[in-house]
A and B are shown apart, each in its own frame.
Chain A
Amino acid sequence: MASLVSHPDEIRVVTKRFGQGATDLDRYLALDGYQAIQKALAMTPDDIITLVKNSGLRGRGGAGFNTGMKWSFVPKQSAKPKYVLCNGDESEPGTCKDRLIFEHDPHSVIEGVMIAALAVGSHTGYIYIRGEYRYLSVIMQRALKDAYARGFLGKNIFGSGYDLDIYWHGGAGAYEVGEESALMESLEGKRGIPRIRPPFPAVVGLWGGPTVINNAETLASVPPIILGGPDWYANLGTPKNGGTRMFCLSGHLNRPGVYELPMGYNLKKMIYEVGGGIPGGRALKAVVPGGSSTPILLADEIDVAMDFDSLAKAGSMLGSGGVVVLDDTTCMVKFALRTIKFYQHESCGWCIPCREGTDWLKKTLTRFHAGAGMKKDIDNIYYLAENMLGKTFCPLGDAAAMPTMAFVKKFRKEFEDHLDGKPCPFEKAAEPVMV
């Protein structure tokens, strides 16, 4: 287990119990645990949804959709059972926040799922944990067992007459399953392949029932919102981007780690103050602001507020909050290759552009980086990515295409430096470390 880092600018909402032994149920209860659910049990479902809507909480998985709004799409009446899913299939390179939540505060996720279930009138919840996080599923199993033992889950929770079951489920190691409908397929025991939408999960989801699916961090944010009130939470961040968010700083930094900072925190400040700047006083080259699928930002583009809207304006995305910092010793061709290798490996193979496109990008970039590149390859790489963008079945193709296009556009010169059989100019440089 990694040691915890901290910074004075942090506002601890989701992370407030980290390092305090909250995996233990008694300890969790002592730290205001299971207070929010009891409060929520006294509220009407509509009130819960309105409260969450007003808090400005936006999905922490990457897309940034208003959580309360998402819950309100679930029909009140349904012939089929409704489900609440917690998406803990955190696999985006550069992102490692859900892992810490599961590790330090599993009950907050359970409580979040319970509140979501109350809000939409569901009696079954699933917490889906990434396949590689096997040790976290052990923690989660214990937390669930403890909660059942106290009567917090199962029949008649907290004596309210409401029945609620929550199960955990482990993935089999596929990035694709982070996509919500693929996660449902996986949960149903099939290959993790996304579904055709519409119908959307809120109407037809898991086993055909209306389904709410939220990121683990989103759900862990819900209990504090219920307790602290919507205005308190909304005011932590910027307008329309309520609350705080866990940023995973990695790459060439003196103090990498996960920091919970208010939304709209300045990226430059985040790198140089929170992250402690770049080792050896080297110059900043570029920053990936929100996980490997977000377009890269150049050193002169980093004076930007880290919220969904500001980053969209800057031509990138907030994504899942994985900030990867690259200094001037980094070969961008190699970085592009490393990124595309990941997507090539993780493409589910369902649709043509993603399956074939990522493979050819990988093949071309491998040859290119090895020094056998030709001038037309640069355009070819861009052409391939451009033709994947927006044409794939699910966003994975876009996630591979967007950063690739940004690499070629912003670092064309560096690509050209690899031409004519020249060796990689950065060959001796240290490879960037992704957490």
Chain B
Amino acid sequence: MADLTLTVDGKKLTAPAGTLLIEACKSVGIEVPSFCYYPNLSLQGACRMCLVKIEKMPKLQTACTTVISEGMVVATDSDEVRQARKSMVELLLGNHPLDCPVCDAGGECELQDMAFSYGAAESKFMEAKNHKDEQQWSPVVYFDRPRCILCYRCVRVCGEGMDVWALGVQNRGVSSVIAPNKQDHLECEECGMCIDICPVGALTSGAYRYKTRPWEMNHIGTTCTHCADGCKTTLGVRRSDTGMEIVRGDNRDKSGINNDFLCIKGRYAFDFAHSTERLTQPLIRKDGKLSPATWEEAFALAGKNFAEIRTAHGGEAIGVVGSSRTTNEENYLLSKFARMVLGTNNVDHHRTADFPALAAALRGKSGQTASMRDVLSAPAILLIGNNPTEQHPLLAWQIRSNVRLRRAKLYVVNSQPIKLRRQAAGFAQIPAGAEAHAVAFLAGDDAALDHLVHQSATRESLLALRDKLRAETGLVVAFSSEIRGADVARLVHSKFAGAKFIALADYANSRGAADMGLYPDLLPGYEPLTTDSRFAQEWGTLPTVPGLTVPAMAAAAKAGTLKALYVVGANPVARFGLDPFAFSGSFVVVQDMFLTETALMADIVLPAANAYEKSGTFTNTCGDLQLVKKAGEVAGVKSDFEMIVRIADAMGFEVRKLVPFGGGTHADMGQSRGAQSGEADRHSVWLEAHGLEPRMSPFDPVAIFDEIQRLVPSYHVSRLDLLAGNDQHTDIGEAGPGAAHDPNLIIPANDDLFSSGTLGRYSHTLNSVMENKNAPAPSEVGAD
């Protein structure tokens, strides 16, 4: 659109036609205050804070509803305007309780800021304020009516943003009140967006309530550890008697791929870290019982036994199970440790999507994978299978926002009438389990139609849907784990012009686990097990015979050929339904946060830190690489990275070969840094980004990240951008050839909005929400 020129406070500025005045002002640094205006939500004009004087208009106008026009002359700071703002604050404070000292929003309250800016300190009113008692609407949502200024942000973000429509307004005039959908309580997705968006302390969170004050916390931007969407979450941490306690999760600064969106898990389910059942001491089985031991004992025993078994029976006698929730560096290190130190290809993890097949199908074709940001901007989206509202909340948010704000077209092919069909331009409900047929049909095989006709999906409607899809350009295709092996290739090769693909996995770093080669037949970057692979050149001679999958390991253990099992952050016993007694003859080491079913049968249990308590990187299901930063801290646990290195050391392995530490070019010990911490931070980011920071420690994941970037082609991304906190898309098409798999090895996690595998089991918030919903806990217990 054409650019228009206008004058604001004597400043000339240019903005595209159709821009709202409030945004145009913001673009040149003129802040027009507002409560009800919120970018990307519908306009209200209700709070009257953004009144400005526009020349030739008799009355003051709201900047949030006025579209700029050519030659407009605006005053945002005249006496008249300031008086108008002051009187609005005065009126609001009339009924607003002055309980800032106990209000959770105190210190980050927009009304406080406005009162400071426009100085309505003196009260003109003498009568009693209107009062209403506080209400609890759900385990995580509290509502304090007197504090509410009725900006309707919560109503809109719940309705327009989340498509839940659980909040509304009751009564009128001064008795107007925000009300939940079920009279006195909420029935919703408990995402907490309403609390996050509330400019004052009217909506407060049950998880953060009265725990601390905003300025008491440090804020660390990291990546969520729950589903595979990879939301950036900013964790507020505060020192506690056992380290650093995470007290809040949000993304108010709107950085990252998710803007300010977080679901219930990202926002509240960090509390598993402080579960009373958390392991904080290594356990060694003595006389058949797991009893506390020191770290040194545990590492020495693990190292001694692994070394003996490797020497006596060879590496094939040791199995390694990795995790979908540990960092890329840890997964890579585990992969390397298994091959290099243990000498085995018996490496596996719980697979939730067929990434090797996608890598194979897209081999050599770069630019055909979509990032999470692409979902927000694509003109059309095709979703096959899955229910993103439950399983991929961010993906669902991106799709909804794209449809709402950019009029993107969504096409849904699903066996269930999933909620996203409400946004869909085309919806085909196919029979359960017919996803593969749907792919065949979309790829051009009309014979597959017979398997698809079902309920409202007729032959004609399906053909029409396919025609519409073929007419779209720039389609983003997201497909569920039911699409595996050859079906992935078929889908990728179907005739959709310029389509980009997303394989939907289930855990925070499922993609990373796949990318880092936690497969018995693939090395990092989907490299095959050849003698001349770049990893063989780097790491030395590696075993080339494909190893055992998890079920095969159990069978081998039962047969007595698998002598040892090393499990890092996984629960294969529960997830794969293994017989725990199969391993009674094997030496089992488990690294985990809790005494899971797998940990219970172990000989050594090592208490592990979770992803909020360590640093590294995660790759989300789209392939977006993001930083994981240490936020919380619990005394008595160690990161998986450190434990792997310590075990290698205890086995007598030269650790420097495993983690290339100590190699940096300059030993900058801080002497060249400025006095101000900001400068020091920038300096260290710069050094780290250019690989100049010395790797002083064998436990430094950046040393491994260097190696990943060097050896895995798809991870050749901008280091500087990554460290600056931005997401970097890794293109699986640039990776190795991948391979076909036994489809039965892909097991969906079946987590919904309120469950998250083992983490969910120990999250007080998730459990209380579940109880509140009277929903039966998922019968299937989580694995990772």
Residues of A within 8 A of B (CB): 174, 176, 191, 196, 344-353, 355-360, 363-364, 367, 380, 383-384, 387, 390-393
Contacts and interface: CB of A to CB of B under 8 A. Distances in A.
Given A349-B175, A351-B46, A352-B47, A360 B91 contact: yes
Interface of B: 43-49, 51, 58-60, 65, 83-84, 87-88, 90-92, 94-95, 124-127, 130, 149-150, 169, 171-176
Contact of A353 (B65, B88, B175): B88
Given A353-B87, A355-B150, A391-B60, A344 B173 contact: yes
Nearest to A197: B65
A344 B174 contact: yes
B62 to A, nearest CB: 8
Contacts of B90: 387
A196 B176 contact: no
Given A196-B65, A351-B45, A392-B48, A356 B127 contact: no
Given A196-B45, A383-B124, A359 B172 contact: no
Given A349-B172, A351-B45, A360-B91, A391 B51 contact: yes
A352 B125 contact: no
Contact of A351 (B48, B87, B125): B48
B47 A391 contact: no
B712 to A, nearest CB: 53
B91 A393 contact: no
Contact of B127 (A345, A357, A364): A364
Given A348-B172, A352-B88, A360-B94, A387 B83 contact: yes
Contacts of A174: 172
19 contacts: A176-B172, A344-B174, A347-B174, A348-B173, A348-B176, A351-B47, A352-B47, A353-B48, A353-B88, A355-B150, A356-B95, A358-B173, A359-B94, A359-B174, A391-B87, A391-B88, A392-B48, A393-B46, A393-B48
List the 7 closest A-B pairs by CB distance, nearest first: A349-B176, A387-B87, A356-B91, A359-B174, A347-B173, A363-B127, A390-B59
Contacts of B127: 360, 363-364, 367
Nearest to B130: A359
A351 B84 CA distance: 13
Interface-central residue, B47, B60, B92, B124, by most chain A CB under 10 Å: B124
Nearest to B149: A352
A285 B173 CA distance: 32
B45 A349 contact: no
Given A355-B150, A355-B174, A367 B48 contact: no
B37 to A, nearest CB: 12
Given A363-B125, A391-B60, A391-B84, A352 B95 contact: no
Contacts of B49: 352
Contacts of B43: 196
A391 B60 CA distance: 7
A291 to B, nearest CB: 20
Given A346-B173, A393-B48, 18 more contacts: A174-B172, A176-B172, A344-B173, A349-B174, A351-B45, A352-B48, A352-B88, A355-B173, A355-B176, A356-B94, A357-B91, A360-B125, A387-B91, A391-B48, A391-B60, A391-B84, A391-B87, A393-B46
Contacts of A347: 172-174
B110 to A, nearest CB: 13
A357 B87 CA distance: 10
Nearest to A379: B124
Contacts of A392: 48
A380 B45 contact: no
A409 B172 CA distance: 30
Given A347-B172, A352-B88, A359-B173, A367 B126 contact: yes
Contacts of A358: 173-174
B94 A349 contact: no
Contacts of B51: 391
Contacts of B176: 348-349, 355
Nearest to A356: B91
A350 to B, nearest CB: 5
B174 A393 contact: no
B173 A345 contact: yes
Given A387-B87, A391-B60, A349 B173 contact: yes
A232 B43 CA distance: 46
A383 B122 CA distance: 14
Contacts of A367: 126-127
Nearest to A372: B126
Contact of A364 (B45, B46, B95, B125): B125
Contacts of A387: 83-84, 87, 90-91
A198 to B, nearest CB: 9
Interface-central residue, B60, B126, B149, B176, by most chain A CB under 10 Å: B126
Nearest to A192: B172
B63 to A, nearest CB: 13
A397 B8 CA distance: 28
Contacts of A355: 150, 173-174, 176
Contacts of B174: 344, 347, 349, 355-356, 358-359
A172 to B, nearest CB: 10
A358 B87 CA distance: 13
Contacts of B150: 349, 352, 355
B160 to A, nearest CB: 15
Nearest to B171: A349
B176 to A, nearest CB: 3
Contacts of B125: 360, 363-364
Nearest to A393: B45
Nearest to B91: A356
A360 B94 CA distance: 8
Contacts of B83: 387
Contacts of A356: 91-92, 94-95, 174
Nearest to A348: B172
B90 to A, nearest CB: 8
Contacts of A345: 173
Contacts of A390: 58-60
A191 B127 CA distance: 29
Contacts of B92: 352, 356
Contacts of A353: 48, 87-88, 91
Contact of B124 (A351, A380, A393): A380
A156 to B, nearest CB: 36
A188 B217 CA distance: 47
Contacts of B175: 349
B172 A352 contact: no
A416 B92 CA distance: 28
Given A344-B173, A392-B48, A393-B46, A352 B91 contact: yes
A355 B171 CA distance: 12
B755 to A, nearest CB: 37
Contacts of A348: 172-173, 176
A350 B65 CA distance: 15
